Chains A and B, each alone.
Chain A
Amino acid sequence: MGQIMEQMPIVVDALNIGFLQTLKLFFVTLIGAFPLGLVIAFGSMSRFGPLKYFSKFVVWIIRGTPLMIQLLIIYYFPGLVLHTPIWGGGESGRFLAAAFSFVLNYACYFSEIYRGGIQGVPIGQEEAGLVLGMTRRQIFFKITLLQMIKRIVPPMSNEIITLVKDTSLARIIALQEIIWAGQAFMKGSHGISGAIWPLFFTAVYYLIFNGILTLLLGRLERRLDYFR
């Protein structure tokens, strides 16, 4: 126990650095997947056949295969098979590949949630706007958008909390996120080796961060509770 207390400051410093990378991947994924998901959602609702089926095909592939395999293929395929390493070397290359994989993967999940949200707003809302002389733009921004947001907040919250934990999958391509940082103390790092507790300790980071997110998302959900 005394030894752990001695090692604690060193471990926490290393885990903090790893968690920063975790957070970076988390936020970059959200920033990329929110709009891309909307594009895919509109694609899969398109009346233009080829676009619709292409979007649905992409969603099927991405949702039908493990994110870990997608990470491996996206990171290694260009360099090892095509001999054109598009991601660049080192940590920044790994981050780029990881961010690309996560944005694509999460955009597909988000697109299905958006689609449910858009299609869940009764057609009568749009018709009421039309007969009141509103433009389609006014109808979207003044009437349907907020109802759509209200519908998608609970399933989105779920996905966002899953994303926090999914970022750990980037460990498979050696992205130096928090799991990687914790694991390093088993092999030896900062003069500490053979210690497994730092790896277990990473769970506390996830727990606390998800705790904060749960509170924030819950607050957003309650703020939209004033109408049904």
Chain B
Amino acid sequence: MSILEAEHICKSFNRTKVLKDISFSLEKGQALSIIGSSGSGKTTLLRCLNFLETPDKGIIRVNDEILFDAEDPSTRLEASIRKKRLHFGLVFQSFNLFPQYTALRNVMLARELLASEQPDYKARKKEILEEIRVQAETLLDQMGLANRKDNYPHQLSGGQCQRVAIARALALQPDILCFDEPTSALDPELTGEVLRVIKELADENTTMVIVTHEMAFARDVADHVIFMDDGSIVEQGEPMQVFEHPKEERTRQFLQRFTQG
């Protein structure tokens, strides 16, 4: 059963069509890589999944539940969108950590705020906060940042910041974790540490959508690859097939440009 299904997603900014009839699905526990040149619509697609953009047309389904249907205005209500966003996590290219909080607080904050809305929050406050703190520490530990938890973002390297951001997204236990070019803002020597933790997450069968320019990584980590160009899916399939035996001329040209650097 597919955990995520996107059907006929279209999105325009003013008169520019950025997404033209995008349909794909993703199985639970699988990693999907989306590759393509800048401006092909990859990031917009991720932003649509996370409700940061509203598609003009199309349906988004998670676990067979319709989260968004452009035809059905009731799925666009601000109040319900907030809860739907929690199905997805998003790791940004530019980290977007909260600068005034330590690494640990960055990971804890959203869960704390959600917990404070629970009916039994007041009665069990201490217990709940302790639980959240332990979970956040475990996540940072898993990201190799146990000794960095009390540092503020400006005291961390780009790679460390991005790993905090990954922990922050994981803290809410999303069904699907999205990465928007997670290493594009990093110095080359720092990309490895971030790609390594994403690979570890893939090996633990975390369901992921990864938009990336790291071709070797996309091929290595993904169960499924989508190549996008000019707002459309040109080709998709298993990594071996897309990278080794692309059917489409455009895919071949793109891969050639990338492998030649």
Q: What is the CA–CA distance of A129 and B97 in the complex, to the nearest angstrom?
A: 10
Asked if A131 CB lies within 8 Å of chain B CBs, one says yes
Please name all residues of chain A whose beta carbon is closer than 8 Å to the beta carbon of B110 when the two chains form the complex. Answer: 129, 132-134
- A203-228 interface code vs B (CB 8 A; 1 in, 0 out): 00000000000000000000000111
Q: Known: A127-B92, A128-B96, A132-B110. Is A227-B152 also a contact (CB below 8 A)?
A: yes
A–B pairs, 28, beta carbons within 8 Å: A122-B94, A122-B96, A124-B96, A125-B96, A127-B96, A128-B96, A128-B98, A129-B110, A130-B51, A131-B52, A131-B89, A132-B168, A132-B172, A133-B82, A133-B86, A133-B113, A134-B110, A135-B82, A138-B113, A142-B109, A143-B98, A146-B100, A147-B99, A150-B100, A226-B100, A227-B100, A227-B152, A228-B152
Say yes or no: B85 contacts A227, CB within 8 Å. Answer: no
- B82-95 interface code vs A (CB 8 A; 1 in, 0 out): 11011011101010
Say yes or no: B86 contacts A124, CB within 8 Å. Answer: no
Q: What is the CA–CA distance of A134 and B90 in the complex, to the nearest angstrom?
A: 14
Please name all residues of chain A whose beta carbon is closer than 8 Å to the beta carbon of B88 when the two chains form the complex. Answer: 131
Say yes or no: A142 contacts B113, CB within 8 Å. Answer: yes
Q: What is the CA–CA distance of A154 and B130 in the complex, to the nearest angstrom?
A: 38
Please name all residues of chain B whose beta carbon is closer than 8 Å to the beta carbon of A133 when the two chains form the complex. Answer: 82-83, 85-86, 110, 113-114, 172
State how many angstroms separate the Cβ of A109 from the closest Cβ of chain B.
Answer: 26
Say yes or no: A227 contacts B154, CB within 8 Å. Answer: yes
Please name all residues of chain A whose beta carbon is closer than 8 Å to the beta carbon of B96 when the two chains form the complex. Answer: 122, 124-125, 127-128
Q: What is the CA–CA distance of A131 and B97 in the complex, to the nearest angstrom?
A: 12
Asked if B50 CB lies within 8 Å of chain A CBs, one says yes
Chain B: CB-nearest residue to A133: B86
Please name all residues of chain A whose beta carbon is closer than 8 Å to the beta carbon of B98 when the two chains form the complex. Answer: 125, 128, 143
Asked if B153 CB lies within 8 Å of chain A CBs, one says yes
Q: Known: A130-B52, A130-B85, A227-B153. Is A147-B92 also a contact (CB below 8 A)?
A: no
Say yes or no: A131 contacts B82, CB within 8 Å. Answer: no
- B28-70 interface code vs A (CB 8 A; 1 in, 0 out): 0000000000000000000000111000000000000000000
Please name all residues of chain A whose beta carbon is closer than 8 Å to the beta carbon of B100 when the two chains form the complex. Answer: 146-147, 150, 226-227
Say yes or no: B82 contacts A127, CB within 8 Å. Answer: no
Please name all residues of chain A whose beta carbon is closer than 8 Å to the beta carbon of B86 when the two chains form the complex. Answer: 133
Please name all residues of chain A whose beta carbon is closer than 8 Å to the beta carbon of B85 when the two chains form the complex. Answer: 130-131, 133
Please name all residues of chain B whose beta carbon is closer than 8 Å to the beta carbon of A127 when the two chains form the complex. Answer: 52, 92, 96
Please name all residues of chain B whose beta carbon is closer than 8 Å to the beta carbon of A226 when the two chains form the complex. Answer: 100, 152
State how many angstroms separate the Cβ of B205 from the closest Cβ of chain A.
Answer: 22
Say yes or no: A228 contacts B82, CB within 8 Å. Answer: no
Chain B interface residues toward A at CB < 8 A:
50-52, 82-83, 85-86, 88-90, 92, 94, 96-101, 109-110, 113-114, 152-154, 168-169, 172
Given contacts A129-B110, A133-B110, 4 further A-B contacts (CB under 8 A): A124-B92, A125-B96, A132-B110, A227-B100
Q: What is the CA–CA distance of A227 and B86 in the complex, to the nearest angstrom?
A: 28
Q: What is the CA–CA distance of A134 and B110 in the complex, to the nearest angstrom?
A: 7
Please name all residues of chain A whose beta carbon is closer than 8 Å to the beta carbon of B90 when the two chains form the complex. Answer: 131
State how many angstroms separate the Cβ of A181 from the closest Cβ of chain B.
Answer: 45
Q: What is the CA–CA distance of A146 and B100 in the complex, to the nearest angstrom?
A: 8
Interface residues in A118-176 (C-beta closer than 8 Å to B): 122, 124-125, 127-135, 138, 142-143, 146-147, 150
Chain B: CB-nearest residue to A146: B100
Q: What is the CA–CA distance of A228 and B98 in the complex, to the nearest angstrom?
A: 10
Q: What is the CA–CA distance of A143 and B106 in the complex, to the nearest angstrom?
A: 10
Interface residues in A89-107 (C-beta closer than 8 Å to B): none
Q: What is the CA–CA distance of A154 and B86 in the complex, to the nearest angstrom?
A: 38
Please name all residues of chain B whose beta carbon is closer than 8 Å to the beta carbon of A125 when the two chains form the complex. Answer: 96, 98
State how many angstroms separate the Cβ of A32 from the closest Cβ of chain B.
Answer: 29
Q: What is the CA–CA distance of A134 and B108 in the complex, to the nearest angstrom?
A: 13
Q: What is the CA–CA distance of A122 and B95 in the complex, to the nearest angstrom?
A: 12
Please name all residues of chain B whose beta carbon is closer than 8 Å to the beta carbon of A228 when the two chains form the complex. Answer: 99, 152-154
Chain A: CB-nearest residue to B165: A128
Chain A: CB-nearest residue to B84: A133
State how many angstroms separate the Cβ of A73 from the closest Cβ of chain B.
Answer: 43
Q: What is the CA–CA distance of A228 and B154 in the complex, to the nearest angstrom?
A: 6
State how many angstroms separate the Cβ of B1 from the closest Cβ of chain A.
Answer: 25
State how many angstroms separate the Cβ of B103 from the closest Cβ of chain A.
Answer: 12
Q: What is the CA–CA distance of A123 and B168 in the complex, to the nearest angstrom?
A: 18
Q: What is the CA–CA distance of A159 and B208 in the complex, to the nearest angstrom?
A: 50
The 5 closest A-B pairs by CB, nearest first: A132-B110, A128-B96, A124-B96, A228-B154, A131-B90
